[in-house]
Amino acid sequence: MSESSNPTKPAEDTGGEDGEPPAAATWGALFRAPYLATAVVLAGGVALHAVNVYLATSLLPSVVADIGGLRFYAWNTTLFVFASVVASVFVPRLLERAGPRPAYAWSLGVFTLGTVACMLAPTVGLLLAGRTLQGVGGGFLVGLSYAMIRVSLPPELWTRAAALVSGMWGVGTLVGPAAGGAFAQIGQWRLAFAFLLPCAAGLALLLRGALPGAGPRS
């Protein structure tokens, strides 16, 4: 059989010129519609928690000087971390029962309630209660942000989304101490907690377009 009669083998699709990944798997795809809001919400949940961790730690000397409670100094962090860890254990159950968007909204609400309690706390007891609520809400937010990558984004974006979400811990280590130190320097530690509220409100406004109500996004 002549060479001209052989069927031509179709070229293998490498996804783009010079072997580049397909467009849907690039960083640009993650930061464009329809996935931009999802990326912001998932990364924002971890960033909010991470910033709060270092923000509150840097504020503690100012808080104690204002409302007292030196003997409970260590409890501030202990209760927060304990609540975060316990909450993260129940992330799968919350996600299964409530669905992605309601679960995230509930977690954000608990975190916001705890933040308001810390901001207005007249005593160390109420401050510790607020920090515990922040820990519960933050623990859920972090766990949900990782878990919902698989139900709110296509498989080709999972790796990049996970890297983005994980990178928010670095943001927290930079922004948290700097913001906390700045507010402590001017003697306004309560405003430091208030600083978190617009961030939480912004995430809440993005929820409807960012996460599916129940089950994976089609």
Determine, yes or no, domain membership for 126: yes
Q: What is the count of structural domains for the chain?
A: 1
Answer yes or no: is 5 within a domain.
Answer: no
Task: Tell me if residue 20 falls in helix, strand or coil.
Answer: coil
pLDDT at residue 37, rounded to an integer: 93
Does some domain include residue 18? no
201: domain range? 35-210
CA distance 206 to 170: 23
Asked if residue 27 is part of any domain, the answer here is no
Does residue 88 carry a pLDDT above 60? yes
Structural contact between residues 110 and 61, judged by C-beta atoms closer than 8 angstroms: no
Which pLDDT score is estimated for 210?
A: 87
In a domain, residue 170? The reply is: yes
Q: What pLDDT score does 3 carry?
A: 47
- What would the pLDDT profile of 12-52 be if each residue is shown by its tens digit? 444 444 454 554 578 888 888 889 999 999 999 999 999 99
The mean pLDDT value for 119-146 works out to 96
- The b/e string for 17-39 (b: 16+ C-beta within 10 A; e otherwise) is eeeeeeeebbeebbeeeebebbb
User: Residue 85 sits in a domain of what CATH number?
Assistant: 1.20.1250.20
**Is there a domain that residue 28 lies in?**
no
The separation between CA 38 and the C-alpha centre of its own chain, rounded to angstroms, equals 11
Model pLDDT, residue 179: 94
Residues 6+ apart with CB under 8 A from 133: 83, 110, 111, 113, 114, 117
User: 25 lies in a domain?
Assistant: no
Note the pLDDT tens digit of each residue in 144-175. 999 999 999 999 999 999 999 999 999 999 99
The residue-averaged pLDDT of 69-94 equals 94
Whether pTM > 0.95 for this model: the answer is: no
